[in-house]
Structure 1
Amino acid sequence: MSYLIDLSVIIGAIFLFQINLNNTYIFILYVSIFWIIIAFKNQFYEVQRYTKIIQIVTLLLSQTFFFFITLYAFIGFFKQPNISRLALVNYLITVFALVTFFKFLFFFILKKYRAALGGNLRDVVVIGDTEKTRQLIKIFKTELHFGYKFKKQFRVQDDNFSLQTCFNYIIENNINEIYFSIAELTNKQTNRLIDFADNNLRELKFIPDNKDIYSKKLKYEYYNYIPILSIRSIPIQDPINKVTKRLFDILFSSAIIVFLLSWLTPILAILIKLESKGPVFFKQTRNGFNYNEFDCYKFRSMTPNEDANLQQATKGDMRITRVGRFIRKTSIDELPQFFNVFFGDMSVVGPRPHMVRHTNLFAEKIDKFMVRHFVKPGITGLAQISGFRGEVETDKDIINRVKYDIFYIENWSLLLDLKIIFQTFLNALKGEEKAY
């Protein structure tokens, strides 16, 4: 249905503009074929009930970008120099707007249909009783728009538990999907469950709650006929993504340096100097990409002290000046780091770098902490907008920070960067509890 509506849009929109085509039918065939090819390559119509909105936006932008390229390729390929470029742009904008409208319309209608009317449901059972299975069951019961109807939980530890009982229930109640805990089933039981699902056309999904490796974003590849799993796929390491992110960093940091720091720096320099003796900028060695050390710059917000490279700022810290308290509260003290971004030591968005002493401490103490150094550190990051910025008061603070940073590394996109930057700006306007 989505295919038909989108094809109707891209064909119907042709007749809204004076594109000056030599042969309209060839153009219709051309755009239709290439729309389908691009959609297939982009998995444009692979939107699931649990798909996030930001993923749909990414699909729309990717589909439109490649469709734009094929549109302009038509001019040269079919040698039609008289085509109106302006009309073609208007055509593309119209197609993008209408396809976006219908895509989100169906997405939200289906959500409401599941949540309010109980349609488009999938009956599910869960085998196992662990923290992860309980969390999943809670999602099934509360997130009604996903459209999962939880029917029954089978506890492996029960004395009367047997897989055959599960199988009978699944068949009798026409269950669509089976979720099971890897932690509680033996290899023999798991293989038996897989055979049952295959032979009875049931979807089987496992919950990776006993081996940390299964909770990673695994990359599946073949070396000839041998399947190979890579533990971690890092999108930023893809050459195109690397260039895209670096280009964005250069453009964004240049804009901040030219339009903001060029006039703000002299004003702050005077205020900082008037209140206390010392340099305008504070330089601190931190660990960045591949654990390499670099000099991170900030506006000085404290009186010069020997503990600056050893001790984090704490609430009510007497070292912080009056000007310093304001620029820390508004995160203005971080702005000189855009020079670090411009020269390539940092990125606008990424895991926040720690002072070397703390990095060494956390690397020994916190599991997976070093994963943060697979990418450049950032001025802001997903952890910071999620409530884990500033002083590390307990192990929970740094553990959660690492979790968010690893999620960012494994799920990077330019849209995610833009979302983090926007949220950082809003947080700076509102003020944050741990911005001291």
Structure 2
Amino acid sequence: MNKLSGPLVDSGSSDTNLRGIAPSLEKRRLRAYVLLMLFDAALINLAFASAGLLYEGYWWRAQNMLAAQTLLPVYFTIALYNQTYGGRALDDWMFASRQALTALVISAALLNFVAFYTKSNAEFSRVSVTLGFIFSAIMVVAMRRLVPLVIARYWGGRTSNRLIIDDGGPSFALDNSLRIDAAEYELDPTSHDPFMLDRLGKLLQNQDKVVVSTPQERREAWAFLLKSTGVYGEVVSGPAHSLGAIGVHRYEVQDRTTLVVSTGPLGFRSRISKRLFDIVLAGGALVILSPLLLFIAARIKLEDGGPVLFVQRRLGRGNQFFNMLKYRSMKVEQNDANGDRSTARDDDRVTKIGAFIRRTSIDELPQIINVLRGDMAIVGPRPHALGSQAGNKYFWEVDAQYWRRHCLKPGLTGLAQVRGHRGATAQEKDLTDRLQSDLEYISGWSLRRDIEIVWRTIFVLRHDNAF
């Protein structure tokens, strides 16, 4: 286990000092899954070719190779759903072999079932196809046995990032993990300081598991904070009810028990499908809307000669800061970088072209670039400026659940927006209505719901509260 320490960092220097303490293994794992799929495809084809060569004297027999090609789509469909290509499959070759064989047997049974009812199995050599299945099973298992050896050789045996946050609780150790001292980084779970939350978010970036050891009186605060950052989090010991624990993990060697208090809102496959949806939609929108984007940029520039874009720091996923892009709609000298003053109807700060693009939501279109960068998603809770207030209170002072909306990437649009909850937040209810919709969206995410929200957004682009 490695010990990390470092000086106190403020918001301006946190990127340099905090980012990258944990290298991203997620992309590496994704590449490993793709390679495993490619090897499986090659091995299954090789198995059926070898069976044909052994039994019939030639491997290119059309029926035999057709069986392999028909098998593969069914096999991959089942394998992707039974965790044949999951994180545990990289650590445990026995588990990986069992899941791969299960997928192979089920796909073989389905293939035989379809062939029987279509009366096409008579065209295949039963011995050759059976040998193909047997050879496939042997080769796939052999490949799984090699995976841990390759990982030990090139990854140092490490397939996940684990972080322990020591906040003065019981002693705790975890193999292949990093450890940080909460006091050295001034991490206070009871604080609602956005800069502290940004600092914590950068420390948690790329972490697959976070374990916090803290005194009993601070466990509930840490549990809430971990839920808000969208990571898999555990708190050493503590009463399950007050922490909202969703599971228990016992570490036999140390005789320690941790409570699983957060897992993140989306699984690996869901994150991939959501990201692909974002890239396809944002990329297509950028191409289709490019004439409009250029025209609006020219109009803004011609009106007063100022910059086209307005860049504002906002809180994103994991409570981390990011620079959100908008078309500038206010006079240069009256831009509100922190969002301390909500825009009002007939606001004297808004330019002529600014009034139009705000009323039609065109000012938000540059955030397509934020989506392609990965800072934002097409659909998600809308990001707010740091100085935003409701009823003369900061948003997190109105309801501490506000931080939980940051466990997903912020969106160009969201459930709150299509329900009409947008515009100025003059009263606390203006925020709580949005917050309720955001938390509902997070708890019930589905790709179908994202598509539905995008469709509904078309009909609310122009809104009475958009000024």
TM-score by length of 1: 0.48
TM-score by length of 2: 0.45
Q: Which has the higher contact order (CA 8 A, sep 6+)?
A: 2
